[in-house]
Amino acid sequence: AADAAGAADDAGEADSADLVCEPCDTMATAAFHFKRFVSEATSLSQSEVAPGSTCTIPVRSRRFEDGMRLQIFQINDEKLPCEVVAAIKGDVEGRSDVAVRIHSECFTGDVLRSAKCDCGLQLEKFFSVMEQEPAAILLYIRGHEGRGIGLAAKFDAYRLQTEEHLDTVDSNVRLGFDPDLRSYNAIAQVFQKLGVTSVRLFSNNKEKLRAVRTVLPARYAPLRTVALATNREYLRTKEERMDHLTTTAEEHGREEDRREEEIEVPQRASRIEWPRFGNYAGFHIVLVATAWNKECTSQMVQGCEDVLIEAKCAVTIVEVPGALDLVTGCNAAIRKESPPNAVVALGTYVRGDTDTSQMHYQATITALQQLNVSSAVPVISGVVFCNSQEDALKRSTSTLGGEWAKNALQMISMSSQ
């Protein structure tokens, strides 16, 4: 039966044949996915995407030098009308491989920072992605609250989840709704109207990827977050019953879910053995990184963050102007009322015509070492000195950033013994 279902899926969606769907655990869930497939197959002809008002706003980040352009799109869908707010960084028209996200509104997660879901965490993480990209698009979908049931019904579903221990699928069904009322085919057309030619979709939702691929080339970029004790079952339900790609760290071994969709990262043997001291979950690591030479630093930050998230650590990224400011940033992090478990300083120095850059590098390393010795919080020096900008680009890799993360975990282990 699973083979037949897979064949039918291949026939209907050739572009996404390499997305393998897990078998549904109940007939109700199977019926839901079939009904969604039939409904979305005709949604393009039944929906209208109408562009509306636009403006530009300043953003509290120096990486949005020209601000953020906003534009409203009305989706006149017979089943679930909604309003799309396109938040745009840079010039996206005619650009390929644009970093994008389709984000359903979640008042509790996005505004109140609820730990019951991972919506707010995903939104924050994609905003960090936008900061690193020259051009990016966030589609914020108003009208998708509670997978389309609305805020009041979502509160009722939350009560059922607490009082009767139902998951998010069964609580919606108990209230008389489908498990998920949302559709993304018409929403995906917004990317076309903005003029992009291909996208990199940051999501764990296969339905979003399939929808985007109906209108333009798209590849999958994982957007994983730390699984919290309060949202672990929520994440598991999304994977097992809503056909989402892997979101929890303990399931990262299921490579068949990602296959060719995931962005490939060159693999290299680790120079530092993975620290094996037990459970890494719950550690809070602060990454202090330089805004200067960000084409190098951002790679190390990404590698460091990936390793820590895989280890189920909470990660905070703090940006300082230059490498000389790393010591001040690290000192501020460890002096907080609730200090992190470790701090990692990430930056690069490039040799100039004089010895000044080397002197600054030595001063920074010495100060970070002194901070590490004098503080109860381990301070990891992830600062590299390079002979040229080309050398810096070669050395400042995500793999190296991952090694600094492993170093931090190892030092936490030693300091806790």
Q: Which residues are catalytic?
A: 180, 182
Pick from 192, 189, 188, 183: which is nearest to 201 by CA?
Answer: 188
Pick from 224, 225, 248, 249: which is nearest to 236 by CA?
Answer: 248
The neighbour count for residue 264, using CB atoms within 10 Å, is 6
Q: Which residues contact 185 (CB under 8 A, 6 or more apart)?
A: 40, 43, 44, 47, 211, 214, 215
Sheet holding 342-350, edge to edge: 314-320, 284-290, 342-350, 379-386
Q: Which residues contact 8 (CB under 8 A, 6 or more apart)?
A: none
Distance CA 133, CA 295 (A): 10
Distance CA 141, CA 266 (A): 35
Distance CA 131, CA 90 (A): 11
State phi, psi for 333 to the nearest 5 degrees. -65, -45
Burial of 88 (0-12, 13-18, 19+ CB in 10 A): buried
DSSP single-letter state for residue 115: S
In this structure, the chain runs to a length of 417
CA distances from 125 to 121, 232, 330, 375 (A): 6, 18, 21, 29
Distance CA 380, CA 392 (A): 19
Distance CA 315, CA 42 (A): 42
Contact predicate 321/329, CB 8 Å: no
* DSSP 3-state of 199: strand
**Tokens 């966030």, residue located:** 138
Distance of CA 67 to the CA centre of its chain: 21
